[in-house]
Structure 1
Amino acid sequence: MKSPFTSCLPVAESFPKNLAGVARLYRVSLVALALVLSAHAGRAAGLPPSDRVVAALLRQLPKEVGGEDSASTKKVADFYARAGFAPVWTRTEGVTPEAQAGVTLLVSAARYGLKPAEYQATELVALFDSLSISDDQAPARRVRAEHQLSAALLRFTQHLHEGRITSSDLRPTASTIAAAFDGVAHLQYALHSGRFAEALLEAQPASRSYVRLLRAWQRLLDTDSAAAKRVAQPVAINLERLRWEPGADSLYLAVNIPSYTLQVVRGAKVAASHRVIVGKAITPTPELYSRVTFMQAAPEWRVPQSIAANEMLPKLRRDPGFLDDRGFELYNAAGKRVNPYRVDWNAVTPEAFPYQIRQAPSEDNALGEVVFRFANPYSVYMHDTPAKKAFQANARALSHGCIRVEKPVALARFLLERDGKNAASRVNDLQNSIDSGRTKAIGLQAPVTLLVRYLTCEADGDQLRQLPDIYGRDKALAHAWNDVMPTTLTPLMPMLAQR
């Protein structure tokens, strides 16, 4: 299958001048990759003499150092251990095509919303350009080049896959990523794929939103550098957000809070799109990753305690009939119905609100005709609403955090019709429950992935579209983005510092 990033590879004209004319990459069958890797242990013994010297020096590289470089050092050591300590990027006869392609990718890191300086791209160009294999210092210089390029590409690969920012406060969905990414294995895979740059870029997310945003960004870079400079940071931080997301299934729901939309995505296409209403700035909708497991037709609304205590209590103090007028019922902690006129509301405080307020299914019910349920720690859900006019507003940050969907019955039908056996029967159950006003839970045999994301820059066809930062989250992320300073790839042995 063709990689979605083939069109995102740097074009020949973008190669650094002294790296142009890249030789044909070695073609190694993916089927034979395991055999190639298994042979690495004895590989150094069969190398030319000068390469054996480099291999011996690579074997002496420390496996651990203290400080911020520790993780990078371990990865580089692991990378060469898996390669049998044979030189990877340099040979007696010169620099390998994979090295030239790797340096080119690092020089072109801005095309992927990353910073070339973070991978010491300029220094690497100079270092590889200065290599002279016949020089007395060639082995030390080659080891330095090997180490520095390996460390840079491992960092670049990791950043492509899961982003640069590590703060959990800024990465709300990152902890849901199940499998740890093995950057060393991926770099080995790219090295032996016969298509190094393209294979390395497969570390990126393959989601529709990421691929479209990346392509629009690269198109702008190639056609209007001045405009690209103005939007470089918004693009970078939104590509970063998309890298935090777990991989989605072939069918999933994607809510983008700043665009007030819900998209039903099937593969690379949007099967349906719905307007949504999201939380106000003081009660924001959280970013999350979950699965819609069931829906309720004609739902009862159990008013959250925060709304009951902070918003309804002042109204009850003025008029206990407020509940009856709007179809609400009052219950005590034991689940027994209470007459609101017999409560001394002035003695009830928001901090100790001992009642539960419920609203039975009706045309005025705040949840409308359908509610979609999914596990999350925020007690939010997606639902219908009787206030349909609100969907005509351009700015729709109006809720207490839950997501209101403009056409929820159509969404429910769509999900049920694609959910295994007895779909028609369950669609009928849904409609009958709505018509009768009897609450009914309808489960999904195959729960559907839900991504609630916060993207303030996205692709609109071939163009980039910036969206309002309604919760002010870009500022903190941009600050963190700019505070992530490049790690100096310091040589680990005195000999490596020699030029």
Structure 2
Amino acid sequence: MGIAIVKRGIGAAAIALWLGTAALPVQAAMELTAFKQSVAAEASQDSAIAAFYRDRDYAPFWTSPEAAAHRSALLHAVAGAGVHGLPVSRYDSDALIATFRDALTQRDMGRAEVAAMRLFLAYAQDISNGVLDPNKVVPDIKRKADRIDPAAMMKEFAKADSPEAFLKALPPESPEYARLLREKLRLERRIANGGWGDPVPISALRPGDSGPQVVALRNRLIAMDYLPRTATRTYDGAMQKAVQRFQLDHGLEPDGVAGTGTVAEINLGPEKRLQQVLVAMERERWLGDARGTKHVLVNITDFHARIVEDGEVVFETRSVVGQNRHDQRTPEFSDEMDHMVINPSWHVPRSIAVNEYLPQMIANPGAARHLQLVDGRGRVVSRSAIDFSKYSPRNFPFDLKQPPSQGNALGQVKFMFPNPYNIYLHDTPSQSLFAREVRTFSHGCVRLDDPFDFAYALLAMQTDDPKGFFHEKLDTGREIRVDLEHPLPVHIIYRTALGDPKGRMQYRRDVYGRDKAIFEALSEAGVVLAPVRG
């Protein structure tokens, strides 16, 4: 460690002990009462730490000669905290070693003992389940990161045969986390070596164009590994293919034209992409490893819903998500899909009924004729007897309902994973929206471009003729619930940086501004961009 021991007595013995080179002197062993009192006092601020030491009668752990491997493993782990995009200032091992070095009494040693445990728990928590509390950063993130059980963590670490292996197993073990780690290192090296060069002047560039702007685009694509080295000054076929590959990797329409939107994405530097990766790593820590062997994955930012089995996408369809308004953005959470409803009725959410439809009916009682009025006893009420002008959002006594039909707002099928946010996946008659590049148009639910095929994929797990089974129910015109014999986990996520199983990275725009808020919170917590030479 290269640390000079400049004091004698307890302080010198303490630092030597931390480094695993000495045992407590006999005199110190006779003064354990003071040590225990100090540990009890320091640990009283944390119930889990207090319980850990109380259960062991306040015997030393970190300051025990038997814990040399644990001490070494912890120092090595926190030294690499920056690799995982963690706030390294939280794990000040130099300060901890200084605390040991300056320990002149058994009371000082007790304080050092608890300080070491606090550092261990802070690191274990952050790398396992994330630095931030997601819902406190962005209220629409309804995901609760599974916080580690500090009592169990301390006990398991204390008895670990290989403390180093124990600490290495704390980060998420998902393939996605590994891909993000690799991309983080690649971007750090690129930043250290000068980035991707000068940005491209913002303008629309098309195949056949030439001139200095095309040269700037060429150089940028070469630096980003989308185009082999070339001296061309013309927007030729090779450059068009390179632009298309970039567009596919960034969720843009792959027309091969470097329009202003594409150029704006090309001009985002590696520092911005590194921020996205750091946020994605934090989000991956929140999500953890429990995805399910087969699950439904909806990524809000890339407007797709997928069925994933054993890490492979077995079904994919375009989606529409919530509008970028405070009460309509699609929330992030995980739940379990357990049934679908064929020929669904649309029970209009109260907020939509009173804020959107009631003003229309006050202005024109015949407005929104496709919706039925339903009273508190579930009876359909005739509009002719209603004076809508008497009602406001506070006292409107009716619910609104749209019966099953091809024009129903939910289309002809919806997929349910009951949750407190009233979010589900469903069909829609508004098919033209799926042709848009940015698809933020719903009130929060997720609309599917190919809902029938999605239904077939789910029903294939319980019938040999999923298509026939589905259409038999559909053709009745009646609302029918179909339970899934094999419920599936559903994860609604928000990733602007994600790895492709084939090795390429995908980037998306921060459509709701959530990643910006998360990165600001990570920066405030001490996460920094750190370029790596080499």
TM over 0.5: yes
Q: CA deviation at 1:145?
A: 6.3
Q: For the Cα contact (< 8 Å) 1:281–1:471, is it kept in 2?
A: yes
Q: Distance in 1 between matches of 2:95 and 2:333?
A: 40
Q: For the Cα contact (< 8 Å) 1:251–1:266, is it kept in 2?
A: yes
**What is the aligned counterpart of 1:182 among 145, 149, 153?**
149
Check if 1:156 corresponds to 2:152.
no
Q: CA deviation at 1:337?
A: 3.1
TM-score of the superposed pair, with normalisation by structure 2: 0.68
Q: Distance in 1 between matches of 2:432 and 2:175?
A: 31
Match for 1:442: what amino acid? Answer: V
Q: Distance in 2 between matches of 1:157 and 1:428?
A: 51
Q: CA deviation at 1:402?
A: 1.0
Aligned to 1:481: 522
1:330-354 CA distances to partner (integer Å, 9 max, x unpaired)?
3344433334355434444333333
Aligned to 2:39: 62
1:93-129 CA distances to partner (integer Å, 9 max, x unpaired)?
xx9454333212212211112011110044457789x
Q: Distance in 1 between matches of 2:471 and 2:456?
A: 9
Pairs aligned (count): 426
Match for 1:78: what amino acid? Answer: F
Q: Distance in 1 between matches of 2:191 and 2:162?
A: 29
**What is the aligned counterpart of 1:470 among 503, 506, 511?**
511
Q: CA deviation at 1:396?
A: 0.9
Q: CA deviation at 1:252?
A: 1.9
**What is the aligned counterpart of 2:169 among 202, 206, 209?**
202
Q: Distance in 1 between matches of 2:403 and 2:455?
A: 21
Q: CA deviation at 1:59?
A: 4.0
TM-score of the superposed pair, with normalisation by structure 1: 0.72
Q: For the Cα contact (< 8 Å) 2:38–2:110, is it kept in 1?
A: no
1:428-453 CA distances to partner (integer Å, 9 max, x unpaired)?
43221223322210012332212222
Question: Does the C-alpha gap of structure 1 residues 198 and 221 become closer, same or farther in structure 2, counting only changes over 3 Å?
Answer: farther
Question: Does the C-alpha gap of structure 1 residues 197 and 236 become closer, same or farther in structure 2, counting only changes over 3 Å?
Answer: farther
* Within-5 A mapping of 1:50-199: 50=25, 53=28, 56=32, 59-65=36-42, 70-71=45-46, 74-75=48-49, 78=52, 85-88=59-62, 91=65, 96-124=68-96, 147-166=114-133, 168-170=135-137, 172-175=141-144, 177=146, 181-183=148-150, 185-186=152-153, 189-190=156-157, 193-199=160-166
Q: Distance in 2 between matches of 1:263 and 1:51?
A: 65
Aligned to 1:23: none
Question: Does the C-alpha gap of structure 1 residues 254 and 208 become closer, same or farther in structure 2, counting only changes over 3 Å?
Answer: farther
Question: Does the C-alpha gap of structure 1 residues 408 and 201 become closer, same or farther in structure 2, counting only changes over 3 Å?
Answer: farther
Aligned to 2:267: none
Q: For the Cα contact (< 8 Å) 1:426–1:442, is it kept in 2?
A: no
**What is the aligned counterpart of 1:241 among 279, 283, 286?**
283
Aligned to 1:262: 305
Question: Does the C-alpha gap of structure 1 residues 144 and 434 become closer, same or farther in structure 2, counting only changes over 3 Å?
Answer: same
Q: CA deviation at 1:415?
A: 2.1
Q: For the Cα contact (< 8 Å) 2:183–2:277, is it kept in 1?
A: no
Question: Does the C-alpha gap of structure 1 residues 266 and 127 become closer, same or farther in structure 2, counting only changes over 3 Å?
Answer: farther
Give the secondary structure class of the aligned counterpart of 1:249. Answer: coil
Unaligned runs of 5+ in 1: 1-16, 20-46, 487-499
Aligned to 1:392: 435
Q: For the Cα contact (< 8 Å) 1:80–1:86, is it kept in 2?
A: no
Q: CA deviation at 1:280?
A: 0.8
Aligned to 1:448: 488
* Within-5 A mapping of 1:320-359: 320-324=365-369, 327-359=370-402
Question: Does the C-alpha gap of structure 1 residues 214 and 341 become closer, same or farther in structure 2, counting only changes over 3 Å?
Answer: farther
Aligned to 1:494: none
441-450 or 348-357: which moved more?
348-357
Unaligned runs of 5+ in 2: 4-21, 196-269, 528-534
Q: CA deviation at 1:154?
A: 1.9
Q: For the Cα contact (< 8 Å) 2:336–2:487, is it kept in 1?
A: yes
Aligned to 1:299: 344
* Within-5 A mapping of 1:305-320: 305-317=350-362, 319-320=364-365
Aligned to 2:232: none
Q: Distance in 2 between matches of 1:124 and 1:65?
A: 15
Q: For the Cα contact (< 8 Å) 1:190–1:197, is it kept in 2?
A: no
* Within-5 A mapping of 1:384-463: 384-418=427-461, 422-424=462-464, 428-460=468-500, 462=503
166-175 or 344-353: which moved more?
166-175
Q: Distance in 2 between matches of 1:408 and 1:242?
A: 28
Q: Distance in 2 between matches of 1:90 and 1:138?
A: 16
Q: Distance in 2 between matches of 1:64 and 1:466?
A: 50
Q: CA deviation at 1:274?
A: 2.5
Q: Distance in 2 between matches of 1:76 and 1:112?
A: 29
Q: For the Cα contact (< 8 Å) 2:48–2:151, is it kept in 1?
A: no
Q: CA deviation at 1:184?
A: 5.0
Q: Distance in 1 between matches of 2:145 and 2:114?
A: 33
Give the secondary structure class of the aligned counterpart of 2:82. Answer: helix
1:275-334 CA distances to partner (integer Å, 9 max, x unpaired)?
21111122111222221121101111122232232222344345544444xx43333444
Question: Does the C-alpha gap of structure 1 residues 463 and 146 become closer, same or farther in structure 2, counting only changes over 3 Å?
Answer: farther
Q: For the Cα contact (< 8 Å) 1:261–1:275, is it kept in 2?
A: yes
